[in-house]
Amino acid sequence: MNGIIYSCAQLDESSFLQNENEIIQSVFRCIDEIFSIVCPRKLVYMALDGVAPKAKMHNQRAGLFLHAKNHFSEDEKFTKCDIKPGTIFMSKLSDELRSYINDRMNNYPAWKSIIVILSDANVPGEGEHKIMDFIRTQKSHNPTGNHILFSTDSDMVLLGLTVHSDNIRIMRPKDKEKEKSYTFVDLKLLREEIKNKFKGDLERIIDDWIFMCFLAGNDFLPNLPSIEFNKDVLNNILFDTYKEHVRKENSYLIEDMKPNWTNVKVLLKHIGEKEKKAVRSLLEHSQTSSNYSLDEFKYVTV
């Protein structure tokens, strides 16, 4: 839902400002459009971001403070700081969404036959995590159910893989000649690609694959200097190292949803051998902005 709100608020277009009521009505139109494309048959789960885990809170706080400082004005312009748990706008939006859902379920035939769940900003956790937790709890009751996850967040690909299902697709908006359109990412195809690349238990390898992607950084963790979300880097450094030094020994990084630190150390040891060169290269290209010199590099690595 937060991705929908951001797009409807059009915060990047300073010349096009909307008031809260206009944004809320735009959110409703967007939900209607997504509903008409997906045509859900059983359930719709709408999740607003609640209070985030502490690790992400620290990550967000400085950026939001600067954004609020730079965009403050006496006319109380709407900013992305309003799209956060605990704000007056999010409380108003939650109330309006309940009215919207009630209207659709009472007056629209396509909505009458399905279950609708709203998890508003008062429920802790990010929206995508709340949705994934719900899907996992329902998997034992409906293991073959098809799920369409609407999200603008790339992390949803990794979260979708954690369900270990061939029946998940991610719906994403795309801009084409300024006309609104959507694309679908079928995680079944990604699962097949991972299966073709690595030999072994597919579900365990997928858990390892997700874990390795975390080393490239996310909202909670910084990335290793030599690993970023660049296809060549991930393949040449991370996945090839995993294949050569972990899978070659028929080992896995994750066991019972927890890291096997012995095997993780093996992976990091061999990545570390390539890390020094990568960090040195970064330092050479950013001497003016770095707090370290090449002579101090040994202290950085320690």
The structural domains of the chain, with segments of one domain joined by +, span: 2-190, 198-301
Tell me, what DSSP letter sits at residue 235?
A: I
Two structure tokens written together for 85 = 């748990």
CATH architecture label of 2-190? 3-Layer(aba) Sandwich (3.40)
CA distance 297 to 187: 41
For residue 68, give both structure tokens. 């609020």
Residue bearing tokens 């896995």: 252
CA distances from 288 to 222, 293, 294, 295, 298 (A): 21, 10, 12, 15, 19
**Mean pLDDT over the full length of the chain:** 83
pTM, to two decimals: 0.79
Q: What is the token pair recorded at 214?
A: 């975390």
Given a contact cutoff of 8 angstroms between Cβ atoms, the answer to whether 215 and 241 are in contact is: no
Task: Collapse the DSSP code of 2 into the 3-class scheme (helix H, G, I; strand E, B; otherwise coil) and give the result.
Answer: helix
Query: Quick one: how far is CA 30 from the chain centroid?
Result: 20
pLDDT digits (tens, 9 = 90+) for 124-159: 998 999 999 999 988 877 888 899 999 988 889 999
Q: How confident is the model at residue 271 (pLDDT cuts 50, 70, 90)?
A: confident
Tokens of 127: 């929206």
Per-residue pLDDT tens for 281-297?
767 766 645 454 545 44
Lowest mean pLDDT among 40-49, 213-222, 263-272, 290-299: 290-299
User: For residue 262, with 0-12 CB atoms within 10 Å meaning exposed, 13-18 middle and 19 or more buried, which class applies?
Assistant: exposed
Q: Is the pLDDT of residue 183 over 70?
A: yes
